Structure 1
């Protein structure tokens, strides 16, 4: 029997009432590339935090090469065992490659840094691992793939032979990805072991020998990649519910319904040449992984961001970019992705929070009628079924579900032509989720165009169609009635529609 290089057993990790990992397991053998896959929220990041010594598990054990993991406080011992190369680089961009390789441990001569020795040791390290990068180059000037190799070389210099690659291909094109994979294979031949995390399942089959699946914070399966067909892998990630889901009974949006939102060639650092339309009374979903660009696209339409190219029209008028107030005046209602950071003012009352977008309707000359605002807020509380003592109650007193209803109330208060919802049911209980989604149905029936961005399949089932973004591009469109595994396969990049498909 080969002793695993890394073994995690029965890992449990809680954050207050939230169970981030209920049954984390991983066994990685020396010299392999082992994939860790699962949908957003499956527990991958939590398991990586435990494996890299950033957090201690509440239950369970981690062993390296048969020995117990070192104490969390012994950072040097962790560095000798494991390193993580994240999607966002951790190198210091203004320093040279050599300086980054030996940061905080530069060779000294008489108490001063020996620059000649630093360059010599950096060159030797890069040569040892066949990393073709100039040690005197400024790290900010390197390609993304070369910065990643510098981080890997730095980790190897501590003695670590287990490298976690967290979404390493997210910012690479196809040619760069193939070069990265070639370097990974060469490092494997030299005795380096990888844990490879990617939302692109095609990459798992290209570069990994074994795959572990997490779902709903639990270990589901570990299998040789060659023995696990793609359909079986997607099913393991999606669960058993791969049959067609029943959709909410409703009329099909007429093809002749007026177009409310028209997006043409919208481009930014997060997405490229996006075209889409949303008609009156239509609910369109945007799905994708965390790095797909879906949230950034929605935030652009809502006025939070400014694209680098393209246009968006709301009822044939140019939509303002980078100006939330102007977007509100144009007819956009918005539920942001984080109610705590972006959605609520905790020191204010429910009524203040719910009506802050319509104060101009509640008074004249800059004065707001107290009774009128209280009446308007009370109506919103009843409409959204917010469980509260009244509009004067501090919003900070509310449960998560009721707080989210306040955010939705504010978005609906202005009677928007377009409603943009980002993760509208995140962190709420089942009853609150159903109530919030019912408001989406009501908006639809009123003729409002709705754009829903969510990681929750239940949110997306309310949609007339779902557009899937992958690496910043719309790659698939699913009409209502999709199978879970079909949508997840598109999200994870297993299949895609040809470029040029009409999304309107």
Structure 2
């Protein structure tokens, strides 16, 4: 494998000035070096991947490329010209925009208001001309083929629609270089395909992308070039076609990393049923019946609209089921009551760690132990010593990269935040562990740790329910129930061909196609 430096000039547009060039970038935060002599070159018309483990320096580089902070050393140039001063936000918006994993759309405003926030067309007396605003918004979205009603509240947009609106907003400032931060983390397979189709269309119209993702298969599907960061440094830049998957993973981690493979021993005939779901119906009409025994890992797979997340949330009480019963180790759970599920021995990793899994301003210790106050109490009061001991154990077991239990979770990378959520799920030694999209938006090493925990939980005799459309998540399952349009349409035993599982999630039976 030939290694190229970030200043390499070969590529699909090697004779053109780079859209952006960052060279010899160093950035320190106190005693922590976030970037050390790192850099990247993105050329016109590329979709250029930026990959690396959580904490590799990707987010810091993005903040420098978007003018949110200045490097301590090094320089950034756009189209061969030095980057604008940090205070000139308008000049930065004309050059670059970032669509973050956590949306910057304001949900209480309409689509039109979000598109032209703080730059409304005003008439006499400084009053906003709403008809002109909506017309301009419609024209903007039509230009970039975004099919959204500009009058609707942004809170009603799907994740996919929010991303397209944010891209259109960035393009309206004149930027033709867009950074996409984990754009597929909350999309199903069909949504990802639509996103990639749109990106290819935009590239044909002169838009260049920096694509940040932990899903390596997406890198090979949509990207031309890939740059790898590791431990705050640039490691390699190369054409995607010339870098094998094992070589890419090795560049990211510095070693060969393989995801855990469960042994899948046969369950004892007398293994007790720990989860019994009978005739469950969700408010949206999805249905599920299921039994899971001690030591069994069962997957529920499906795309968007399949109902997989809805049934999982109804099982654990995040939503109130419309019908049916759920019992954990013989105890029937009360509908829509998370505390009742916790008391019965359920541990949960929810779908959205930002909204449902974490309290960002609280510490690791406070987040890990918030559902088990009785475990850390002494004479009716919370014992800081016991709380910290539980947190330290979770930090060690899950390899959380943090200085200690008192670090706010807001200061952690995405993968380490997800480990904290897992730590809380394990804090009550659950009989049933429910994981909803557990490895979305985390790096390869964090994924390895999180999935490795499942095997430990299984061996302790608990039951595990994994709700996901990620093949890596599902491969550790003993069997997988595939949902489509609110119904279970297939059950596959471990050892299924990947193409059969993917086809089933899309509603296709390969045996009768």
- TM above 0.5: yes
1:91-142 C-alpha deviation (Å, 9 max, x unpaired): 3455554433322112233343463554554455455x34355775335466
| Distance in 1 between residues matched to 2:330 and 2:147, nearest whole Å | 51
- What does residue 211 of structure 1 align with? 226
* 1:29 CA displacement: 0.3
Q: Distance between the aligned counterparts of 2:80 and 2:266, measured in 1? A: 59
Give 1:68-87 correspondences, 5 Å limit.
Answer: 68-87=82-101
Q: How does 1:245-264 map to 2 (within 5 A)?
A: 254=268, 256-262=270-276
Pair 58,137 (structure 1): closer, same or farther in 2 beyond 3 Å: same
Tell me, in whole angstroms, the C-alpha distance in 1 between the residues paired with 2:97 and 2:283. 28
TM-score normalised according to structure 1 size: 0.61
Partners of 2:234 and 2:492 lie apart in 1 by 30
Alignment of 1:310-389 (within 5 A): 312-320=326-334, 322-332=336-346, 356=374
Deviation track 1:405-429 (CA, whole Å, cap 9, x = no partner) reads 99799625xxx54467999xxxxxx
Q: Is the 8 A contact 1:212 1:220 kept in 2?
A: yes
Question: SS of the residue aligned with 2:145?
Answer: coil
Q: Which moved more, 1:106-115 or 1:23-32?
A: 106-115
5 Å-filtered alignment, 1:163-182, equals 163-170=178-185, 177-182=192-197
Structure 1 match to 2:173 = 158
For residue 28 of structure 1, report the CA deviation from its aligned partner.
Answer: 0.7
**Structure 1 residue 83: Cα displacement:** 0.9
User: How far apart are the structure 2 equivalents of 1:468 and 1:200?
Assistant: 23
Aligned length: 450
Would you say the 8 A contact 1:38–1:237 is kept in 2?
yes
Question: For 1:12-23, what aligned pairs fall within 5 Å after superposition?
Answer: 12-13=26-27, 21=35
Q: 2:57 matched to 1:47?
A: no
Alignment check: 8 A CA contact 2:349 2:425 kept: yes
Residues 419 and 94 of structure 1: CA distance in aligned 2, closer, same or farther (over 3 Å): closer
Relative to 1, partners in 2 of residues 1:117 and 1:398: Cα closer, same or farther, differing over 3 Å? closer
Q: Which position in structure 2 is the counterpart of 1:5?
A: 19
Contact 2:363/2:406, CA 8 A, preserved across alignment: no
CA distance in 1, matches of 2:32, 2:310: 27
Contact 2:148 2:161 in 1 (8 A): no
8 A Cα contact 2:65 2:76, kept in partner = yes
CA distance in 2, matches of 1:212, 1:242: 19
Q: Quote the offset at 1:254 in angstroms.
A: 3.4
TM-superposed deviation, 1:52: 1.8
1:269 and 1:217 mapped to 2: Cα distance?
A: 47
Matched, 1:64 2:64: no
Instruction: Give the number of the structure whose alpha-carbon radius of gyration is greater.
Output: 1
Q: TM-score normalised to the size of structure 2?
A: 0.60
Gap change, CA 1:12 and 1:445, over 3 Å in 2:
same
Q: Deviations over 1:3-60 (max 9, x none)?
A: 2111233445555666655565321101222223345555443432332223444554
How many Å apart are 1:223 and its aligned residue?
2.2
Give the Cα–Cα distance (whole angstroms) in 2 for the partners of residues 343 and 444 of structure 1.
Answer: 30
In the alignment, which of 294, 316, 337 is matched to residue 280 of structure 1? 294
Contact 2:178 / 2:210 at 8 angstroms: preserved in 1? Answer: yes
**Residues 349, 422 of structure 2: 8 Å contact kept:** no
Provide the rounded CA distance (Å) in 1 between the counterparts of 2:170 and 2:259: 46
Matches within 5 A, 1:63-212: 63-93=77-107, 95-113=109-127, 115=129, 117-118=132-133, 121-122=136-137, 125-126=140-141, 129-131=143-145, 133=147, 137-138=151-152, 140=154, 145-170=160-185, 177-212=192-227
| RMSD over equivalenced CA pairs, Å | 6.4
Deviations 1:257-300 (A, max 9, x none): 22323567989899x8888865435688999xxxxx99999887
Q: 1:357, CA displacement in angstroms?
A: 5.3
Shift of 1:162: 0.7
Match for residue 7 of structure 2? none
Identify unmatched segments of 5+ residues in structure 1.
288-292, 360-367, 388-394, 424-433, 454-459, 481-485
**2:428 is the counterpart of 1:411:** yes
User: Aligned in 2, Cα 1:230/1:330: closer, same or farther, shift over 3 Å?
Assistant: same
How far apart are 1:81 and its partner, in Å?
1.2
Q: Residues 470 and 29 from structure 1, CA distance in 2 versus in 1: closer, same or farther, beyond 3 angstroms?
A: farther
CA drift of 1:314 comes to 1.2
Pair 92,444 (structure 1): closer, same or farther in 2 beyond 3 Å:
closer
SS of equivalent residue, structure 1 residue 356: helix
Counterpart-to-counterpart distance in 2, 1:322 and 1:47: 43
